[in-house]
Structure 1
Amino acid sequence: MTRSTQLRTPTTAPSATTATSGTTAQPAAAPTKPVVTAAGILDVVNERQESGFLRAEGCRASAHDVRVPAALIRAAGLRTGDFVVGVCDRPRMLARVETINGHRLGAVRGRPHFRDLTPLHRPAKEHVALAGLAVERAKRLVEQGQDVVILLDSLTRLCRAHNNAATSGGRTLSGGVDAAAVHGPKRLFGAARLAEEGGSLTLLATALVETGSRADDYFFEELKSTGNMELRLDRVLAGKRVYPAVHAVASGTRREELLLSPAELAATRRLRRALQTGDGPANMQSLLEKVRRTPDNATLLRQLQHTAPGV
């Protein structure tokens, strides 16, 4: 009697890694971290640039601010106030800068500092010197018989420059005005004239009024007597978008009798009296409409004599 023996081929346990014929098994890829971007206005906490923060909510500090390491501030050339967009490697910690104020890093390297930029305004002494040189140049042209016109904007600011450039120790008036501050502007503005030998110098200057500054009021009152024509603007008309917004009653020319005929002078003075009655802005709007419909001043005055009350 024979014994039958059954043989089994040994098997191995299934592996977690599968592979097709002719390939090498590869481990599964590890999950990638999501890219976290941050953006905000940089606030460097001290002058030594030891660290800073991207303010996430405007300019105020908040719990969502992102810290910026000192090394990154120096490497990227960051400055307080820069709007920075970057990438974080840890929660609320900036690791890389992408853009600065909307530009790539290369575009902002070498940018000038604000303190090194040439200002639109110049020191007070330079304003004074420039105005004086311009007037002296105009005088030389008048001496050669030429007619010169200088436009000065503004006479008030020139007075401020003289006041700021004045040496200390002088008498100080109300509003912080040096007593000698208007001497230079008076000489400058008073240089205007018509020379009998030929040539003339005319200065047209703007002046600030009703600014709330006692100094500005003082400058205007001191200098308006030097001029011979004043054109006053009206805030009420300008607010109503009525142009030209001229305050006709406050405007005028000194010694206008030298420019107008007796009939024109009488009509002009009656017109001024009429404009002072009733609603001033409404009267001015009515006058402007009549000005637009007439070809010249003479025609306007003739019409007003028949239509305007008191004219």
Structure 2
Amino acid sequence: MLPIAGILDVLDNYAFVRTSGYLPGTSDVYVSLGQVKKYGLRRGDAVVGAIRQPRESDAGNRQKYNAIVKIDSVNGRTLEENEKRPDVADLTPIYPDTRLRLEGTPDAQLGRAIDLVAPIGLGQRGLIVLPNHTAGTALLGELAEAVRANAPEAHLMLVLADAQPEDVTHLERTIRGEVVAATFDRPAEDQATIAELAIERAKRMVELGHDVVVLLDSLNSFARAYAQAQHTPTRPAHDEIDEFALGQLKKLLAAARKVENGGSLTILATAHHGTGIAADKTLLREARRVANSEIRIAKTRAGVAPVVDLAKSRTLNAGTMLSAEESSVLDLVRTALHDDDAPKRVFERIRATTSNAALLAEIQRSGGLA
């Protein structure tokens, strides 16, 4: 016997344990649908088991993939324990009630601005709307470090489609979390697979009571991948999107939730606007219907750090995770942002204070931003 371990990917007629990550590889292990049903396996399960060691005499005629013959554990539990786990679809979703702060060092103004006008909670479905030609990878890298610093017990995943290979290497070496990526040289099917399998993996952890944070870049790339990966006689053009792709993306976002007396899945996904492509406009409109938090990034000059558009960023039902005092200060800020020069004054106050706690105390004492 040879031990194996990996993530289970269930397809239409068979399944594989992906032993080299989230994408297909030559060392993947075949699992029949009968075994999937027998052991109650689900897509995204972390499977540990064994295969028969191939004999040298079988080298010329053995099957392309080795078949699993023994399963030792699923998600770190025995098969008996695995049978009793709940299905995330049967758990009760509630409003996020635990704050996920993104404030880091005093110089990291991005996280502080988000905390101020669009608070994020564990279980949030957040949309980060970027101007055209603004890369989301570096921005999510900064947010990943903030998540790791403020919620070290949460499982962090950074999911990238159509990524630059060197960006992936940099993130793998610097991010203290799981980087799941398909570079631009991978086929469309692989781009779509990593999004689905990563979210399914996150759902399996939520079923076990864990908090998972997924940073996803970008919805535009995943939409194009879904459109091009379809096995149909006529596929959409590269700059088009169809109902199937929209449905898959909305399904990915809809997976985010806080479950009652359990774990949570937080998804913050980037999407671009102002691209001049009708499909991107449609995508953004549909994604907004699913998201319950929107963080708008203002258009800036090249080389300037991303800045949050304070007036256009907001979170629905933020009061469920804020104290009464925080809610009242947030209302003060929100009311003041209707003035044309208010965003400038807020950023001046952010730069002049060492933390949001100090800033909010100052706003509360003065009764506003004046």
Structure 2 unaligned regions, length at least 5 = 1-181
Q: 1:233 to 1:134 in 2, by over 3 A?
A: same
Cα distance in 2 between the residues matched to 1:171 and 1:124: 12
TM-score by length of 2: 0.44
**Corresponding residue for 1:17?**
none
**Corresponding residue for 1:271?**
333
**Corresponding residue for 1:254?**
316
Q: 1:210 to 1:259 in 2, by over 3 A?
A: same
CA displacement at 1:167 relative to structure 2: 4.7
**Corresponding residue for 2:210?**
146
Which has the larger displacement, 192-201 or 224-233? 192-201
Q: Is the 8 A contact 1:229 1:253 kept in 2?
A: yes
**Corresponding residue for 2:240?**
176
Q: 1:195 to 1:263 in 2, by over 3 A?
A: closer
Cα distance in 2 between the residues matched to 1:259 and 1:146: 18
Match of 2:301 among 201, 225, 239: 239
Cα distance in 2 between the residues matched to 1:265 and 1:246: 20
Q: 1:132 to 1:287 in 2, by over 3 A?
A: same
**Corresponding residue for 1:300?**
359
Q: 1:148 to 1:168 in 2, by over 3 A?
A: same
**Corresponding residue for 2:350?**
291
Q: Is the 8 A contact 1:152 1:204 kept in 2?
A: yes
The total of aligned residue pairs comes to: 187
Query: Which has a greater percent of helix?
Result: 2
Runs of 4+ aligned residues of structure 1 deviating over 3 Å after TM superposition are 166-173, 240-244, 261-264, 295-299
Cα distance in 1 between the residues matched to 2:275 and 2:197: 29
Cα distance in 2 between the residues matched to 1:182 and 1:121: 23
**Corresponding residue for 1:129?**
193
Higher relative contact order (Cα pairs below 8 Å, separated by 6+ residues)? 2
Cα distance in 1 between the residues matched to 2:183 and 2:303: 33
CA displacement 1:29-60 (0-9 Å, x = unmatched): xxxxxxxxxxxxxxxxxxxxxxxxxxxxxxxx
Cα distance in 2 between the residues matched to 1:240 and 1:265: 35
**Structure 2 counterparts to residues 1-311 of structure 1, below 5 A:** 120-168=184-232, 176-235=240-299, 238-239=300-301, 243-279=305-341, 283-304=342-363, 306=366, 308=368
Counterpart residue identity of residue 189, structure 2: K
Instruction: Kindly report the root-mean-square deviation, in angstroms, between the aligned alpha carbons of the 2 structures.
Output: 3.1
Counterpart residue identity of residue 183, structure 1: G
Q: Is the 8 A contact 1:231 1:250 kept in 2?
A: yes
CA displacement at 1:224 relative to structure 2: 2.0
CA displacement 1:120-167 (0-9 Å, x = unmatched): 432211111221111122222222222222221112211121122235
Max radius of gyration: which structure? Answer: 1
CA displacement 1:255-305 (0-9 Å, x = unmatched): 1121333443343233223223234xxx33321221133344354234335
Structure 1 unaligned regions, length at least 5 = 1-117
CA displacement 1:76-130 (0-9 Å, x = unmatched): xxxxxxxxxxxxxxxxxxxxxxxxxxxxxxxxxxxxxxxxxx9743221111122
CA displacement at 1:249 relative to structure 2: 0.8
Q: Is the 8 A contact 1:171 1:178 kept in 2?
A: no
Counterpart residue identity of residue 213, structure 2: V
Query: Which has a greater percent of strand?
Result: 2
Q: 1:211 to 1:267 in 2, by over 3 A?
A: same
